[in-house]
Amino acid sequence: MLTVIAQDPGVKMRGVVLTTRVAVPAERLTPGPSGHRVQVVDFDATTNTLYRARTDALEDDVFEGIDPDELIGNPQFHQQNVYALVSSTLARFEHALGRRVPWAFRTPGHQLKVVPHAFAEANAYYSREAQALLFGYFRGAHGQTVYSCLSSDIIIHETTHALVDALRPRYVTNSSIEQAAFHEGFADAVAILSTFAMPQVLAFGISRLGRKAGERARIGTETIPRNLLVPERLKRDALFLLAEQFGHELDPVRGAPALRASVQLDPSPKYLARAEYKQPHKRGEIFVAALLQAFVLVWSERLLPKSERIRELDPRHVIDEGADTAAYLLTMIIRALDYAPSIDLQFADFLSAVLTSDARLHPDDGRYRYREHLRASFEAFGIAPQSPTVDGLWRRPRKELRYDRTRHAGLRRDPDEVFRFIWENSAALGLDPEAYTWVQSVRPCVRIGDDGCVLEETVIEYLQELDARGDELKGYGVRKPTDMPPSFNVRLYGGGVLILDEFGRVVYHIDNGVRSRRQSARVAYAWQDYKREKEAPSREGRHDGAFAGLHEARARGPVPWRKR
């Protein structure tokens, strides 16, 4: 367990910055701290300074019980803070997915570098090229130095970008506004739910339940009456308060925290069509808002089960149930990534993915009806499952597949064996025969359900590419943008995910082929993006520019966004 700042130095309870301790996997550490997957490198490119790292008692929590005000100015605490939060986020993903999660870079790719004082700039971002998370610092409104490496929501947000990039590298290609919005909304959702899973944060959140401005906060043991524990009150009082307290000083880095913006969106399907929500960050807020809605619905249901007449509750129970709800939802949405299409993700796809992956482990939706609440919350924001089945789950394969030409064991680990399987079943899987096809990953996993049941699965990701000229698009069922020259070369992308059960049989095939009905929209979006880029090339010429530029844009407010 290592001490970290619970949210950011702006969140104080009775004048003291909230800290908490997070569990990190035990491992051998070298000075940095540097572990086998996360390596803190404290080099400041602005001042050309290498900060000294701790050399002793690396595995001990030497900062436990120290006055938080002292921690804020201590670079060695900053090093521990980023190490602990990045490591615990990676561990959370690996636990949810039931396997190791490699980083998106391969050569030689085991360790993500984390730079807590990277530059004197109000920015923080993930860079695939630099294989790093970079956190800036800057002078705040009152002249003090503000460190982005002390904000758990910024650290977890950036770590999540790195993890989603590792699991679904194609989500950074220019495919649609919603895919870009997903990267942001998902990173925010993981950060917010991780923070809610810290009991200290929720204790702070409920400290003003039912209190008006200026009234004293609740004391720790004061029971909470039933009428304050309904979803609307939990959202309006507890989450609003937390959102307000998130340090404003860090707004130049992250813009208004997603929690602050999203918690204000009352459920409505109208946002999706509005012009301002055609911008990735704004659209990502809809995704977060739908999840927050599900969070308060489940939290309240756990507190006030219909079968019992409850009049008031012990606050510790309220906090524990909230933290458990956040942790469960977090596992649910992370696991869903495996069931999400490998390219061109829409919110509707993600909803079917989360419903399906949860149903695999918990067939009956359990006591608290997470799936029912999640679906209702997304639908209240106008997002219905992509799959047209009654329960919103992905459909099982409808055509017979042949298994007699592949070796069962190889399908669980060998990309060439998997490719052979795809080759033999190309027609049944509906793959385009002209497209170039390759297997990107084969990932065996062992998932553990809430009730301890074990599910063994293999997740296979394949990709397809097909090059065509503008005037050939029609032949592939794709609309050519009217101003695209006939000789223009277009690359059509497709791909899919195969989920295999423990016997090596395909249970789901979640695909989005090169001739998908969504291809016209993808080409139109990429074409617009290409034209914009030609007129005003962005100063970042590389992939990592996508994330760096994005976050700067976020701080400046709604500006047209560019991503490759």
Please state whether beta strands 12-13 and 38-40 pair in parallel, antiparallel, or not at all (unpaired).
unpaired
In sequence order, the 6+-apart residues with CB closer than 8 A to the CB of 388 are none
Nearer of residues 184 and 321 to Zn ion, judged by Cβ: 184
Place of tokens 């560019």: 562
DSSP secondary structure of 95-140 = HHHTS----S--TT-S-EEEEEEEESSS-EEEETTTTEEEEEEEE-
DSSP secondary structure of 261-276 = HHTT--S-TTGGGSGG
- The least distance separating Zn ion from the CB of residue 287, rounded to whole angstroms, comes to 13
Q: Is 148 left (phi over 0), alpha (psi -120 to 50) or beta?
A: alpha
- The least distance separating Zn ion from the CB of residue 260, rounded to whole angstroms, comes to 15
Nearer of residues 204 and 547 to Zn ion, judged by Cβ: 547
- The least distance separating Zn ion from the CB of residue 148, rounded to whole angstroms, comes to 12
Query: What is the contact surface with Zn ion in residues (CB under 5 A)?
Result: 184, 187
Nearer of residues 86 and 206 to Zn ion, judged by Cβ: 86
- Report whether 468 contacts 425 (CB < 8 A): no
DSSP secondary structure of 172-236 = GSSS-HHHHHHHHHHHHHHHHHHHHTSHHHHHHHGGGTTPPTTSPPPPTT--EEGGGSSHHHIII
Nearer of residues 187 and 259 to Zn ion, judged by Cβ: 187
- The least distance separating Zn ion from the CB of residue 187, rounded to whole angstroms, comes to 5
- The least distance separating Zn ion from the CB of residue 125, rounded to whole angstroms, comes to 7
Q: How far apart are CA 379 and CA 234, in angstroms?
A: 21
Nearer of residues 118 and 318 to Zn ion, judged by Cβ: 118
- Give the residue among 224, 160, 165, 216 at the shortest CA–CA distance from 190: 160
Q: How far apart are CA 182 and CA 151, in angstroms?
A: 22
Q: Where are the beta strands (DSSP E) in 328-472?
A: 436-448, 454-469
- The least distance separating Zn ion from the CB of residue 551, rounded to whole angstroms, comes to 6
The amino acid at residue 453 is C
Nearer of residues 157 and 302 to Zn ion, judged by Cβ: 157
Token output for 81: 């803070």
Nearer of residues 182 and 508 to Zn ion, judged by Cβ: 182
Place of tokens 């569990």: 23
What are the Cα distances from residue 380, in Å, to 26, 36, 271, 480?
Answer: 42, 43, 11, 34
Nearer of residues 153 and 184 to Zn ion, judged by Cβ: 184
Nearer of residues 120 and 555 to Zn ion, judged by Cβ: 555
Place of tokens 């807590």: 116
- Give the residue among 46, 180, 290 at the shortest CA–CA distance from 553: 180
- The least distance separating Zn ion from the CB of residue 488, rounded to whole angstroms, comes to 32
Token output for 288: 């977060």
Token output for 175: 């495919």
Instruction: Return the ∠ at Cα 125 (arms to 122 and 131), rounded to 5°.
Output: 140
CA atoms within 13 A on the CB side of 354: 25
Kindly report the backbone phi and psi dihedral angles of residue 387, in degrees, each rounded to the nearest multiple of 5, phi listed first.
Answer: -80, 135
Residue 100: burial class (beta carbons within 10 Å; 0-12, 13-18, 19+): exposed
Nearer of residues 165 and 358 to Zn ion, judged by Cβ: 165
Nearer of residues 112 and 203 to Zn ion, judged by Cβ: 112
Nearer of residues 235 and 563 to Zn ion, judged by Cβ: 563
Token output for 491: 């690359």
- The least distance separating Zn ion from the CB of residue 554, rounded to whole angstroms, comes to 7
- The least distance separating Zn ion from the CB of residue 6, rounded to whole angstroms, comes to 21
- The least distance separating Zn ion from the CB of residue 193, rounded to whole angstroms, comes to 16
Nearer of residues 184 and 511 to Zn ion, judged by Cβ: 184
Residue 60: burial class (beta carbons within 10 Å; 0-12, 13-18, 19+): exposed
Nearer of residues 187 and 253 to Zn ion, judged by Cβ: 187
- The least distance separating Zn ion from the CB of residue 126, rounded to whole angstroms, comes to 8
- The least distance separating Zn ion from the CB of residue 183, rounded to whole angstroms, comes to 7
The amino acid at residue 56 is D
Token output for 208: 């003003």
Q: How far apart are CA 201 and CA 156, in angstroms?
A: 15
